[in-house]
Amino acid sequence: MSPKRVAILISGGGSNMLTLLDSMTGDHPARPCLVLSNDPQAGGLAKAAARGVPVASVDHRPFKGDRAAFEAALLQPLLDSAPDILCLAGFMRVLTAEFVAQFEGRMLNIHPSLLPKYKGLHTHARALEAGDGEHGCTVHEVTAALDDGPILGQARVPVEQGDTQETLAARVLVQEHHLYPAVLRRYAAGDRSPIFLG
Ligand code: GRF
C-alpha cells in the first residue's frame, strides 16, 4: 500500500514539524508531501526545504482578518499536494469551521496542555497560576470547536518547584516531540486508539 501523504502546517520554528519529518522513514506508513506556513519568514520552512520536502507559504497579513479569503489562498498549495492527513504543528491561526470541514477526520493538532484543560493560549502560565502538580500536551483530531476534538494521545510532565512558564514549556516540548510522531505513526496505520505517555 502506498504511504499516506502528510501535509504539515506551521507558523514558526517548527520543532514539532521537524520531529514528524524525521520520523517518517523506513516502514513508517506515511511520508511528508508539504510543509505550509502562514508566515513566509517561518524558520521551519528552510529546515523542511533542506530535508527535500516541498514547502509553501501564504502570508495571512494581507488578508487583514478576512479568514475566508486567507483560507481560500491557503487551500491552493494544500490541495495541490493531495494530502491524506494534515498535521497542525505550532500553527497559530484559528481555522474556520468551513475549512476544518474539508479535512475533518484527517487533521491533527498538538496542543500544549492536558485537554480538556486550558484550551486556547498561555497554557503553561495558566497551569502554574492554578498550582497544578502536573501538566503536559495533547494530540487531538481537529474539529470546528477550538482545541476540542477526539483525543489521540497525551503526555504528562510534573510541574516542578520554581518552574517558570519557560521551564515548564521546555519540559512539555520534549514530550511533544515524543508524542506527536508516535500518534501520527499509529494514525497513519489506521489505528485511532489513544496513546498515553508519562
Ligand atoms: C508548541 O508549544 C506547540 O505545542 C504549539 O506551538 C509551540 C511551538 O511548536 N502548538 P513548534 O516548535 O513550532 O513545533
Predicted pLDDT at 1: 81
Omega into 112 within 30° of 0, i.e. cis?
no
Chain centroid, CA 14 distance in Å: 9
Domain that holds residue 134: 4-197
pTM of the model: 0.96
| pLDDT of res. 5 | 98
Q: Is 111 annotated as catalytic?
A: yes
Number of H helices, E strands in the chain: 6, 8
CATH number, domain with residue 43: 3.40.50.170
Whether ligand 1 lies within 6 angstroms of the CB of 15 is answered as: yes
Q: Is residue 30 within 8 Å of 3, Cβ to Cβ?
A: yes
Backbone angles phi, psi at 141, to 5 degrees: -75, 140
Q: How far apart are CA 87 and CA 153, in angstroms?
A: 14
Amino acid, res. 11: S
Q: Are 17 and 59 in contact (CB under 8 A)?
A: no
Q: Specify the pairing of strand 107-111 against strand 134-141.
A: antiparallel
Q: How far is CA 26 from the centre of its chain?
A: 22
Q: Which parts of the chain register pLDDT below 50?
A: none
Using DSSP bridges, classify how beta strands 30-37 and 4-10 pair: parallel, antiparallel or unpaired: parallel
DSSP string, 72-132: HHHHHHHHHT--SEEEESS--SPPPHHHHHTTTTSEEEEESS-TTTT-SS-HHHHHHHTT-
Give the count of domains, the chain: 1
User: Is the CB of 179 inside a 6 Å radius of any atom of ligand 1?
Assistant: no
What is the predicted pLDDT for the residue at 14?
Answer: 96
* Ligand 1 atom with minimal separation from the 111 CA: 4
| Protein residue with its CA nearest to atom 2 in ligand 1 | 112
Of 60, 111, 124, 140, which one is the catalytic site residue?
A: 111
